């Protein structure tokens, strides 16, 4: 039985999401919203059973302290970094090769290809969501909060440009 080849994109944000794309990024296979480590493990195992997961891209996140945020900023930063670490651990445990992808890298390539000007800052989420709706339809990206799904889908599409062997080599470094 030949499994469909897919690539995984992960936005490890505070609410986070993951997406699978196939066919060189043209087909959206599935999207999923982060809820917990155990549910992420179940989802990844389900995907591995149904598909050949070639490689994953995780958005590389950086936390910069903001003035005036206090404990809320610290709690948000903590959750974000924990989500990132949990995704990395799951991918290692399940032997799924992955790359950390800078937001400006995938946005410059994928959003420009979609005809959307990539820009840093708050407007990026809206542009990513609008472009995802145009490319893959609106069912998976109905709500404004689905910008995490859109980013994950774009990261997965970006990963189709990399072969699994290149990613596996990088993970061994």
Per the rule left: phi > 0, alpha: psi between -120 and 50, beta: everything else, 80 is alpha
Residue of 63 and 47 predicted with greater confidence: 47
pLDDT in tens, 104-125: 888 888 877 766 665 555 578 8
CATH for 92 = 3.30.420.10
Q: What is the mean pLDDT of the chain?
A: 83
Contact partners, residue 21, CB within 8 Å, separation at least 6: 6, 7, 9, 27, 28, 29, 153, 156, 157, 160
Report the C-alpha gap between 87 and 96 in whole angstroms.
11
Structural domain count of the chain: 1
pLDDT at 171 over 90: no
pLDDT in tens, 54-87: 999 999 876 665 555 556 567 777 777 888 889 9
Domain that holds residue 51: 4-172
């Amino acid at each position: 039985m030949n499994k469909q080849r897919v690539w995984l994109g992960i936005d490890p944000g505070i609410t986070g999401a993951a997406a699978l794309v196939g066919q060189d990024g043209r087909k959206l296979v599935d999207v999923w919203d982060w809820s917990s480590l155990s549910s992420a493990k179940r989802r990844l195992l389900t995907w591995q059973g149904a598909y050949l997961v070639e490689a994953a891209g995780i958005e590389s996140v950086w936390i910069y302290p903001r003035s005036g945020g206090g404990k809320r900023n610290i709690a948000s930063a903590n959750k974000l970094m924990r989500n990132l670490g949990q995704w990395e651990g799951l991918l290692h445990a399940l032997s799924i090769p992955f790359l950390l992808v800078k937001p400006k890298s995938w946005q410059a390539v994928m959003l420009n290809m979609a005809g959307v000007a990539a820009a840093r800052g708050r407007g990026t989420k809206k542009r990513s969501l609008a472009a995802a709706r145009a490319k893959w339809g609106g069912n998976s990206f109905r709500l404004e909060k689905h910008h995490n799904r859109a980013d994950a889908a774009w990261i997965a599409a970006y990963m189709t440009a990399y072969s699994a062997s290149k990613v596996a080599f990088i993970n061994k470094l």
